[in-house]
Structure formats: structure tokens, C-alpha cells
């Protein structure tokens, strides 16, 4: 007998690089910068799917409306808030007093499920980068939101990634379903 159910699996990769990605003058320079070797990489597993994110996904799935988490609408945010993640949260910074910073997708992100063969095509990747003047504070939580739909937060993870003071930090969030 086959068990019914679905698993939500998330892997976040943080890459830290010297230099400022915002100094790149063309998409080609930006792409080359992001292909350079980071001085540090950190991989974190796990993430909580939030109620509002689930509601939006189901509305899109059933054709009841809603904008997809797409290139022009998806953003990744980071915050200094270390409040434990709870599925009813609708803000990244639940205290509304801390620091947070949102960045749009890098070119060609999010990726389509068929482009990710590591999980047999059942995943999507979001990627954003923070240049030298962006997000300079303690990174304790992060998530993906859809800015087109009143900032609907899809997911939230709480774990310290360190304190950014300069350079470029990039987050890739891979969500897979099985």
C-alpha cells in the first residue's frame, strides 16, 4: 500500500564574496561575479511553509487567481528577527521593529521545475544577492515573498547566518516536493 502525502524540503545556500555586485555594469558582469569562488559557503536545511503562502499556492493551483512567485514578483528577504517560525506568521520581521532587507531575483531566477534535474524536476530555486550597502546587519531569518500580492510570505526560516558588514552575500533557496 502506497502512503499518501507530500514532503516540503528546503535547502538554502549562502555564498559570501568580497566585492560589490552592485558595481557590475552589465548582466554579463553580474553573472561572472556570481560565478566567482565565494570565500565562504553555508548550507542550511529546513524551512516552514506559512499559511498565507499555502493559500496563495492553492489559489494559483485551482485557477482562482493570484500572481505566481515569478521573476518580476518574487523576492528574498533577510531579517535580524530571531523569533521562532510559526506557520501563521505573515511577516519576516515579526517584531516590526528590527532590520530587514528584500532583494529581487537574479537573472533567470526563479528556475522552472524542469531545469532542476537533481530532484527529478520537482523543485524550484530562488536566488537574490545583497551588495556592499545592502542588508548590513545580523541575518537571523529569511524567506521568499510575492511582492505583487501584498507581500505574501511563502516561507520562513530562523537560524543565524552571521553578520553582514560589507561584500556581497547571495542566498539560493531550493524548494522541492516529494
* pLDDT at residue 7 in the model: 85
Compute the average pLDDT of residues 1-15.
84
Helix (H) or strand (E) holding 140: strand 138-146
CA-based end-to-end distance of the chain: 17
Compute the average pLDDT of residues 38-45.
98
Q: What is the DSSP string of 15-60?
A: EEESS-GGG--SHHHHHHHHHSPPSEEEEEE--EE-HHHHHHHHHH
Q: Where are the domains of the chain?
A: 8-177
Half-sphere exposure at residue 145, Cβ-oriented, CA atoms within 13 angstroms:
20
* pLDDT at residue 120 in the model: 57
> What is the CA 73 to chain-centroid distance, rounded?
12
Q: Is the pLDDT of residue 115 over 80?
A: no
- 133 burial level (CB within 10 Å; 0-12, 13-18, 19+): exposed
* pLDDT at residue 114 in the model: 65
Half-sphere exposure at residue 154, Cβ-oriented, CA atoms within 13 angstroms:
25
Amino acid at each position: 500500500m502506497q502512503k499518501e502525502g507530500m514532503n516540503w524540503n528546503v535547502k538554502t545556500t549562502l555564498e559570501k564574496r568580497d566585492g560589490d555586485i552592485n558595481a557590475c555594469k552589465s548582466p554579463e558582469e553580474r553573472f561572472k561575479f556570481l560565478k566567482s569562488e565565494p570565500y565562504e559557503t553555508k548550507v542550511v536545511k529546513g524551512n516552514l511553509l506559512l499559511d498565507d503562502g499555502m493559500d496563495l499556492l492553492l489559489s494559483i493551483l485551482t485557477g482562482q487567481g493570484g500572481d505566481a512567485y515569478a521573476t518580476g514578483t518574487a523576492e528574498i528577504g533577510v531579517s535580524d528577527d530571531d523569533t521562532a517560525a510559526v506557520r501563521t506568521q505573515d511577516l519576516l520581521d515579526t517584531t516590526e521593529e528590527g532590520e530587514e532587507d528584500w532583494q529581487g531575483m537574479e537573472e533567470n531566477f526563479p528556475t522552472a521545475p524542469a531545469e532542476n534535474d537533481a530532484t527529478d524536476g520537482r523543485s524550484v530555486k530562488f536566488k537574490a544577492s545583497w551588495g556592499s550597502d545592502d542588508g548590513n546587519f545580523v541575518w537571523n531569518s529569511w524567506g521568499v515573498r510575492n511582492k505583487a500580492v501584498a507581500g505574501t510570505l511563502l516561507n520562513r526560516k530562523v537560524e543565524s547566518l552571521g553578520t553582514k558588514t560589507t561584500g556581497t552575500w547571495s542566498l539560493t533557496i531550493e524548494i522541492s516536493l516529494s
